[in-house]
Amino acid sequence: MKVVNTLYKLGETASDRAILHEGVGITLSLLGPIAPHITHHLWCELGYGDDILDASWPQFDPEALRQENIQIVVQVNGKVRARIQVPADADKSLVEGSALADEHVQRFIGDAQVRKVIVVPGKLVNIVAK
């Protein structure tokens, strides 16, 4: 479903059409064992080849999952107040500094004193302020 939802969001550029073509082919390959008749028909009609059974299974590419930036959730007193983008290899001090510098976080902290900052690497920052 995530693949199909992502394919729906693509535009009309040439690169988007190429991504759509590859994405539909992968989706049909994955659905082939579950719904062989319809996927075979769609495979032939969309010009991927003569038989979906001759198609190779999609290969996993770990480099495709690598991200330069990740999104971190920032909580103030246990409630989500912001989402920040930080480099994927950022250390705790950089993540903490970015969270404390965010304007939305500053608005919710206000004049309160920051008692504790809990950083869960790659996931969230929780700021306790009283």
Q: What is the pTM for the complete model shown?
A: 0.60
Domains of the chain by range and CATH?
2-65 (no CATH), 69-129 (3.10.20.590)
pLDDT of residue 64: 82
- Sign of torsion over alpha carbons 85, 90, 91, 93: negative
Distance CA 38, CA 52 (A): 10
- Sign of torsion over alpha carbons 94, 97, 103, 108: positive
pLDDT tens-digit series, residues 2-55: 888 999 999 889 999 999 999 999 999 999 999 999 999 999 999 999 999 888
The helix/strand/coil state of 34 is coil
pLDDT tens-digit series, residues 41-93: 999 999 999 999 888 888 888 988 888 999 999 999 999 999 999 999 999 99
